[in-house]
Amino acid sequence: MEQLTAAHRTLPFGTWVRVRNLRNEKTVEVRINDRGPFLDGRVIDLSRAAARRIDLIGPGTGKVRLEVIRAPIAAAGRFAVQVGAFRDRKNAERVRRDMESRYGAARLVQRSGDPALWRVLVGVEATESSAGELAGKIRREAGRHLEAFVVRLDSV
């Protein structure tokens, strides 16, 4: 929390990003070291120290602009689509089975924390673009409100 770090859904771990608060033009440089945020409309989750630097502690959220300033060496990776995160493993497993029957590869990944969450990931795509196409297909075919977004598979 007190390091200049951030979470992003798809940027490779170790990527350095300049984040500009568009309200006050303050900037901070952070290293991507986690995955998230997992809320629609949010693109980055800053550590407390980083948020403090650009005056986002009080409001908690704000409009920002991201600029990748340094990518890690060998940034090639794989991507998947997250379709849910569940506290109850049985619920996650039910969704995983449904996604697997429709789209092939689907698996559960436990995210530690309190409480722990079971993430349902669909597919293994070579590019962010192809994973985005899969996410769009899942959203169109779901027939119900389903959040489906691209995540990077670094060590999952």
Instruction: Give me the average pLDDT of each 10-residue run along the chain (156 residues).
Output: 90 93 97 89 94 91 94 72 93 94 91 87 90 92 80 72
Domain at 95, CATH number: 3.30.70.1070
Residue pLDDT, tens place only, 36-77: 898 878 999 999 999 999 999 988 899 999 999 988 765 556
Give residues with Cβ within 8 angstroms of 112, minimum separation 6: none
- pLDDT attached to residue 53: 96
Judgement on whether residues 46 and 12 belong to the same structural domain of the protein: yes
**Domain CATH number, residue 54:** 2.40.40.10
Of 24, 43, 70, which one is at a domain's C-terminal end? 70
6 bridge partner residues:
32, 46
Percent composition of the chain: helix, strand, coil (DSSP 3-state, to 5): 20, 35, 40
- The pLDDT value given to residue 40: 79
Portion of the chain with pLDDT greater than 70, in percent:
93
Give residue 134's domain range.
78-153
Q: What is the DSSP letter of 58?
A: T
- pLDDT of 73 reads 64
Same domain, 122 and 94: yes
Judgement on whether residues 47 and 14 belong to the same structural domain of the protein: yes
Of 25, 47, 70, the residue that ends a domain is 70
